Structure 1
Amino acid sequence: MISPGRPMGRRIAALSGAVALILAATGCGGGNGDGSGTGKVTSITALDYYTDTTEHAQWGERLTACGKTVGVTVEHTSVPGPSLVPKVLQRASSRTLPDLLMLDNPDLQQIAQTGALTPLDQYGIDFSGFAEGILSAGTYKGQVYGLAPSVSTIALIYNMDMLSEAGVAVPRTWDELKTAAAELTRPGRYGMAVDANATFEGTWQFLPFLWSNGGDEKQLNTPQAAQALQLWVDLVKSGSMSKSVLNWTQADVHDQFVAGKAAMMVNGPWRISDLNQAEKLHWGVAPIPVRQTGQALVTPLGGEVWTVPQSASKTRQEKAAQVLVCLNDSTNQLALAKRNFTAPSRSAVASRYTEQVPSMAAFVKSVEGARARTGELGVRWPKAATAIYTAIQSALTGQQTPEEALKHAQQMATSP
């Protein structure tokens, strides 16, 4: 769950051949009903990147049920994740987008910037009950353009048996984390594992350490940011964390943990299904440690938002908005969260959910204070994210000190 409920590592590789044809079929305002918006609408189109067979079927069922509720048939199509945004941008200016469009939440900014999406308040949608950070993920210039039925974030997942055997408590602060990681490290096993690779995944995993310590992507060359990066450097230098984290994906981190080669890891709830299938593995989840007691944990928010693009038919837009509301009702949010190990976006639903799925409690708690990656910089976020993972690589390889790496990162992020 990118990622991040979809993390960046879960985006499926592009299948370039049929994408244009698929979007032509779904993106031209097809279905019944005249373009003036006065005719009866009996079907609408929906587009997402859930190309995995199971995911596609699940969302197809959900869209079909919601369509039936509002009196339309939903023609549901999926395209590979990397292909979605480029094709949407191509069709945005001509208003030939589908009636209902799913976007990874960091991508909403650049699509909304084109004017291709409609503000959801014009349909009378009630935004109450959604956590502030979740609404922020679907907001552009003060208006809500997208809503996420469920979301995700990352937490500390640990091997309960290894911690018990070593007499180590679950760490809550950075000092406790360094101590625990050192005591848990053995020949053939590291105490801690993260994804520090040179992609947006590496940035995503670093953000809780940066943000919780008061660091900010608007100004990367600060003592707070340097302290966060120094923590990762210290873990690698001490041998508590493998140098291979520079190349690991979140999937690799998971594999190391399941194989018993890492006692703790930073990862997301999308790993729970596989963790549950690992024989003799007893694991727990805790919030990511903060530098010192009293600091508030701030994690990045993952998940997809559903939007209603502009079209020639107001009636079609209204029907699409009604389906969007249905996807975000309490029943669907709870069902989707249970099935996918994500967190419901409505706070009241999330509270009920943790009672029913205790393994999600730490993730749901972290979501309460989670932030959208684009919340501060909007469309400029990708440039900052690139600068951050470049700094991580430079510092962990020893090419630069954290201070030097972050000074360079600030220059990268603010260059024309």
Structure 2
Amino acid sequence: MTPAARPAARRITALVGSVALVLAAAGCGGGEGSASATGKVTSITALDYYTDAREHAQWSERLTACGRTAGVTVEHRSVPGASLVPKVLQQASSRTLPDLLMLDNPDVQQIAQTGALTPLDRYGIDTRGFDKGVLSVGTYKGKVYGLAPTVSTIALFYNKDMLSEAGVTVPRTWDELERAAARLTRPGRYGMAVDANATFEGTWQFLPFLWSNGGDEGRLDTPQAAQALQLWVDLVKSGSMSRSVLNWTQADVHDQFVAGKTAMMLNGPWRISEMAESRNLHWGVAPIPVRSQGQTLVTPLGGEVWTVPRNPSEARREKAARVLACLNDPTHMLAVAKQYFTVPSRTAVASRYTEQVPAMRAFVKSVAQARARTGELGVGWPRAATGIYTAVQAALTGEQTPQEALRHAQQIATGS
């Protein structure tokens, strides 16, 4: 979300409150699933943001297969990502929620707060073997409301040929990263690239540096946070990283890497399928460097969770829960991970997965220590995320020092 979009965010926040009041008074939503003349549920609805034709078709196939195990057909609908939360809040207010709902994991807290979701424990859904951090992304006030079949995070991609030619080893610390980026930089090529734009995507890329150094979104104006931001400032000032990172998306960073215009980049595993098509690109992937050896890398968890909205029909909710459980069983989990280059949410499945897809080993390792973005602040996370990307922009443009920028970020996060 850009700064210009903040008024829209306030409208959504206001709608959250009104939805909660409506649900408290009415006690329910109301999906559109159909039933036979005997009252038996024969179909349920599912809503997500997989609008890409290929992804929509793939998820329709998976939902159909899991619907078959539950004895229902699944009517699968998709809306653009930016429209999903506003649509869900409106549906909750009008009591027309779908039976099965996919949410980006940072949005779970916001929707659960309204009372629009059903805790999954009432349906006996098996959550054993899920990574603790993965479970936390679908949890609100101690109750699990959503499960993610797979998750993602970010790591350091590097061009093997460029590092070999420059005699550079894969960096493991910030000092090594700075030295490597400097040696890899030459006319027409930068050593390092990140997404530092003024959106939550820019915040997402900065979090590993903040968290791994002991920084915290609950208090942004700390020396640990300033050290992390100073690293990015130094990379830009030294010329090892383009000033254009202020405007780049993760897709732009990927394009720079594939074109040979940067030797290293931060990005997610969803880029692997495209990179594999570049025959002359020899790449590797490693965990993101930490400030000093001995620190634990902490990265943010990405991915979508499936939830069961609180509709009046218990029979439809039970069917939706069965479909959700199927999507999260080991077989479907592994299939989804291979299809999209994501990480299975059950640790045992993830372990098998690395043996079958070695390129994902760094991501699987990072997920084991990854955190939910809403884990500490809950519904207060968007304000902190806005403060973080605003600070990154101010520091990288030179408008403020990292310390000044983070003091301002703290004011944004607290609304002061």
How far did residue 56 of structure 1 move?
Answer: 0.3
Question: 1:34 deviation in Å?
Answer: 8.1
Q: Which residue of 2 aligns with 1:116?
A: 116
Q: Work out whether residues 258 and 278 of structure 1, in 8 Å CA contact, stay in contact via their aligned partners in 2.
A: yes
Q: 2:215 matched to 1:215?
A: yes
- 1:271 maps to 271
Task: Give me the whole-angstrom Cα distance separating, in 2, the residues matched to 1:412 and 1:28.
Answer: 37
Structure 2 CA distance, aligned partners of 1:254 and 1:296? 26
One-letter code of the match for 1:299? T
Q: How does 1:134-213 map to 2 (within 5 A)?
A: 134-213=134-213
Quote the Cα distance in structure 2 between the aligned partners of 1:139 and 1:30: 26
Query: What residue is the counterpart of 1:344 in the other structure?
Result: 344
Shift of 1:181: 0.4
**Structure 1 position 94, deviation (Å):** 3.7
2:11 match: none
Cα deviation, residue 31, structure 1: 2.9
Conserved? CA contact 1:95–1:310, under 8 Å:
no
Residues of 1 paired with 2:112 and 2:178: CA distance?
A: 42
Deviation at 1:227, TM superposition (A): 0.3
CA drift of 1:95 comes to 2.9
The residue aligned with 1:30 is 32
Shift, 1:326, TM fit:
0.1
Distance 2:161 2:202 in 1: 28
CA distance in 2, matches of 1:367, 1:181: 25
Residue identity in the other structure for 2:342: T
Deviation at 1:91, TM superposition (A): 1.7
CA distance, structure 2, for counterparts of residue 108 and residue 30 of structure 1: 22
- Per-residue CA deviation, residues 105-141 of structure 1 (Å, 9 max, x unaligned), is 0011110000000000010112111111110100011
SS of the residue aligned with 1:117?
Answer: coil
Instruction: Give the letter for the 2:63 counterpart.
Output: L
* Residue aligning to 1:43: 43
Question: Once the two structures are superposed, what CA deviation does each residue of 1:276-300 show, in whole Å capped at 9, x if it has no partner?
Answer: 0112100000000000001000000
Give the deviation of 1:312 after TM superposition: 1.1
Structure 1 match to 2:317: 317
8 Å CA contact 1:157, 1:267 repeated in 2? yes
Q: Which amino acid aligns with 1:250?
A: Q
Q: Secondary structure at the match of 1:277?
A: coil
Structure 2 counterpart of 1:363, which letter? F
> 1:295-306, aligned counterparts within 5 Å?
295-306=295-306
Distance 2:72 2:61 in 1: 14
- Structure 2 residue 52 is matched with structure 1 residue 52: yes
* C-alpha distance in structure 2 between counterparts of 1:159 and 1:269, whole Å: 15
DSSP-derived class of the 2:163 partner: helix
* Residue 20 (structure 1) aligns with: none
Amino acid at match of 1:147: L
TM-superposed deviation, 1:70: 1.1
1:405 aligns with 2:387: no
Give distance in 2, aligned partners of 1:256 and 1:157: 12
Return the alpha-carbon distance in structure 1 between the equivalents of residues 188 and 391 of structure 2: 28
Paired residue secondary structure (2:332): helix
Secondary structure of the corresponding residue to residue 301 of structure 1 = coil
Percent of pairs identical after alignment?
A: 80
> Is the contact made by 1:45 and 1:74 (CA closer than 8 Å) also made in structure 2?
yes
Q: Given the two structures, how large is their TM-score scaled by the length of structure 2? A: 0.92
Equivalent-residue separation in structure 1 for 2:299 and 2:121 (angstroms): 27
Residue in 1 that maps onto 2:326: 326
1:289 aligns with 2:277: no
Q: Which residue of structure 2 aligns with residue 19 of structure 1?
A: none
Letter in 1 for 2:128: S
Contact 1:34 1:313 in 2 (8 A): no
TM-score by length of 1: 0.92
| Cα shift at 1:172 | 0.3
User: Higher mean Cα deviation, 174-183 or 85-94?
Assistant: 85-94
After TM superposition, list the pairs within 5 Å mapping 1:88-107 onto structure 2.
Answer: 88-107=88-107
Q: Does the CA-based 8 Å contact 2:30-2:312 persist in structure 1?
A: no
Give SS of 2:101's match: strand
Deviations 1:164-219 (A, max 9, x none): 01110000000000000001001110000000001111100000000000000000
Q: What SS does structure 2 have at the residue aligned with 1:40?
A: coil
- How far apart, CA to CA, are the structure 1 residues paired with 2:33 and 2:95? 15
Code of the residue aligned with 1:31 in structure 2: it is G
Indicate if the aligned counterparts of 1:344 and 1:350 stay in contact, CA closer than 8 A.
yes
Task: Write the distance in 1 (CA, Å) between the matches of 2:240 and 2:137.
Answer: 35
Distance 2:39 2:129 in 1: 34
CA contact (8 A) 1:118 1:310 kept: yes
Equivalent residue number for residue 386 of structure 1: 386
Cα shift at 1:93? 3.1
How far off is 1:28 after superposition?
Answer: 4.9
Amino acid at match of 1:385: A
Which residue pairs with 1:5 in the alignment?
none
Contact 1:93 1:114 in 2 (8 A): no
Question: 1:32: Cα distance to partner?
Answer: 2.4
Matches within 5 A, 1:74-89: 74-89=74-89
Indicate the SS of the match to 1:290: coil
Cα distance per residue 1:137-170 (max 9 Å; x no partner): 0001110000000010000000000000111000
Aligned to 2:254: 254
- Equivalent AA in structure 2 for residue 48 of structure 1: D
CA distance in 1, matches of 2:114, 2:412: 25
Counterpart residue type for residue 140 of structure 1: Y
For the aligned residue pairs, the C-alpha RMSD in angstroms reads 1.3
Query: Within 1, Cα distance between the matches of 2:33 and 2:343?
Result: 33
- In structure 1, the partner of 2:8 is none
**2:276 partner SS:** helix
Deviations 1:351-393 (A, max 9, x none): 0001000001001110111111111111111111000000000
Give the whole-Å Cα distance in 1 for the aligned partners of 2:412 and 2:100: 36
> How many equivalent pairs are there?
389
